[in-house]
Structure 1
Amino acid sequence: MHLPIRAILFDLDGTLLDTAPDMAEAANRVLADYNQAPLTDEQIKANTSYGARGLLTAGFGAIPAHLDADQLRREFLHYYQQNICEGTSVYRGINKVLAYLEAHQIPWGIMTNKPGFLTELLLPFFPELLKAQVVVCGDTLAVAKPHPEPLLHASELLGIPHTACAYVGDIEKDMIAANAARMHGLVAGWGYIGQTHHPEAWQAREVLPAPEALIDMLEQQRKCQ
């Protein structure tokens, strides 16, 4: 049974930050090295939250058998690290949400599958995100999403029962992780949701159309308490 929401955990790519321009640029540089066409806008939108593997698999159609997927990922990370914040931006409305959480003393943190070294490089560009009480990355533990353990670890660091935490993310495995951790799963409907994705079927508590909808939800909860 869920408790009322007392803390918020956010995914990073496609939830707090629009990192698609820089991640797509890195993927396109790898694809160009192998004489492949650049990604389409729809491929970028549908696959950015799946990271290097998602973008490169979309670009190649399928990773060719004669290529090493791990090597391609290393090449992607090299390019991405070089230009990690050329086109990345905070989604409109996120700063308003974070200000609301701070004003109402609601703890919040970041739980991302992005590698720690890239997260540490990126966050300083956005001082508002450095206020996160916890940051758990894809390699913080031995497992990553959709395994629930990183979310449980984040809630433990916050000192809030996991059933009183909400997790906001934009792909299905975010909701799989939230449900496995018995957290409130909230879909970031403004994120990287492609035409073939069906967030209404992800067993989330709610699909939020915009960041400000999270404020509305929390305000409604306050009125009911």
Structure 2
Amino acid sequence: MDLLHLFDTKTVYTLGASRTVWIYKSELPIRNQDKDSLWATAVLLGASAFYRMDAHTALEAWPLTTSSSDGDDDADLAWLAMSEGKKSVWKLADVQGRRDSVFHATAEETNTWPAVDWELLPGEFQAAGLGASAVYRPAAAMVANLMRERCDRDSLLRFLSFLGCITPEFKRLLRAKDARALAILAMWYAKICEYEQWWIQRRARLEGQATCIYLETYYSHDAALMRLIEYPKII
């Protein structure tokens, strides 16, 4: 059951952030037997926040429109804020460091992942200017690596690790609807669409399509950028 249908996404993030602050300020240590429950809750909230959106078509989705009546893009990017909150919970739950965690084996799988080639920026990425700024490079390089793989049950965690490359500076570019930041996000959306999961498909498809429409509408003169979104457009 999607409990988050009772709230809008921004409210959910506010509740999640408040809970995280409470945990940090609590004088009582978190018991080991509670840490897995804490992490599981964070994962479920994150998935629900990613799924929860008001749009039913691409034309109703961000970045073409905003779900907030005052035009605040933060409401549409609140799922990213929830993802940032999960990083804090991951550290608190110490999943990777606790061998008694039910998630420990899954966490250990990250050690077997192929190394990320942070210098990998294919020609079309370079032509679009993604190597020109350190703000773009981590996210762009991660997407370039993921383009060589297929997103499925076994590789999903690796694809979600892209979110760790979204720095505060990159998020500010997304909020400002920077064309290159949007193109990087659209490519990631297109790749995770390969894995048919209820909580992934809706946002990835609708916002991915909306992003391509937005870029074609305002940046059709940028041939390099148009080549970059050829793959997301067909998803």
Give TM-score, length-normalised by structure 2. Answer: 0.29
Give TM-score, length-normalised by structure 1. Answer: 0.30
The structure richer in helix per residue is 2
Which structure is larger by alpha-carbon Rg, 1 or 2?
2
